[in-house]
Amino acid sequence: MVPDAAALITAAAAEFCRCAEAAIAARGRFAVALAGGNTPRGVYAQLAAEKNSPPWDKIHIFFGDERHVPPDDPQSNYRMARESLLSKAPIPEANVHRIRAELPAPEAAAQYEADLRSFFGLSAGIWPRFDLILLGIGECGHTASLFPSTAGLQEESRLVIANWVEKFASYRITFTFPVLNHASEIVFMVSGNGKAQILKEIFTAPKGSYPAQTVQPEKGKLLWIADKDAAGLVT
Ligand code: 6PG
């Protein structure tokens, strides 16, 4: 737990840089998947402003999920990341792996899966191992775009799917649980008292009650960074 939203931004940015340094030292590159929504915006802006910025030319940026909208849409996670980080840090364009959510959703998902398979050099049945995946949670307990009562919760073979979300009457393109759970590290960023109830539920309700509970990296680290308002009912 951190005192407030500003401390959350600092802690998450520091963890990003720590993971980047370790991955680049070990493998010469850092593969990270960004979270969408609003909470990460400040983290991305902080990273773009970092004095000792990580070596952006060795960093590959992916997206854990995307809304089914074009890249300039106000709802676009890519747009949020572009405005807060990608347009401000010297990240080579080839290192930004965007979900082409302007395409029909199943096609966008299949294309992104192919991008992941070629980037990680995967053969059939092998999962990618991201160095870091950033995630948030929604008040319904969803994470990435794995919402309660959606088909995507059951997916066990594909890396990326078009997940129909009834409450939005729209698809979302999202990583599946196996991709999340094969990561070296997952960092959840949770801010504000609007998330206090669901965070308490995620930590106390029986497993399987909320999608975010299914995120348990098999051979990786799971870190929750929550500010005092969000964690108020947990501690
Ligand atoms: C999205 C996200 C989603 C997000 C949560 C929390 O596309 O919306 O990837 O999983 O992390 O909805 O969003 P906030 O940070 O805006 O509360």
**Residuewise pLDDT in 10s, the chain (235 residues):** 999 999 999 999 999 999 999 999 999 999 999 999 999 999 999 999 998 888 999 999 999 999 999 999 999 999 999 999 999 999 999 999 999 999 999 999 999 999 999 999 999 999 999 999 999 999 999 999 999 999 999 999 999 999 999 999 999 999 999 999 999 999 999 999 999 999 999 999 999 999 999 999 999 999 999 999 999 999 6
In Å, what is the CA distance from 48 to each residue of 63, 195, 207, 234? 17, 26, 37, 32
Nearest-atom number in ligand 1 for the CA of 189 is 15
How far is 161 from 112, CA to CA, in rounded Å? 9
Distance 36 CA to ligand 1 centre (A): 5
Nearest-atom number in ligand 1 for the CA of 142 is 10
Q: Is the CB of 144 under 6 A from ligand 1?
A: yes
For atom 11 of ligand 1, which residue has the closest CA? 136
CB 30 within 8 A of CB 23: yes
Taken in order 72, 73, 79, 80, the sign of the CA dihedral is positive
How far is 222 from 235, CA to CA, in rounded Å? 18
Nearest-atom number in ligand 1 for the CA of 144 is 10
Q: Is the CB of 136 under 6 A from ligand 1?
A: yes
For atom 10 of ligand 1, which residue has the closest CA? 144
The reported pLDDT for the residue numbered 123 is 93
Secondary structure E strands in 110-169: 132-135, 160-165
CB 162 within 8 A of CB 176: no
How far is 109 from 126, CA to CA, in rounded Å? 18
For atom 8 of ligand 1, which residue has the closest CA? 37
Q: Is the CB of 35 under 6 A from ligand 1?
A: yes
Nearest-atom number in ligand 1 for the CA of 192 is 17
For atom 2 of ligand 1, which residue has the closest CA? 36
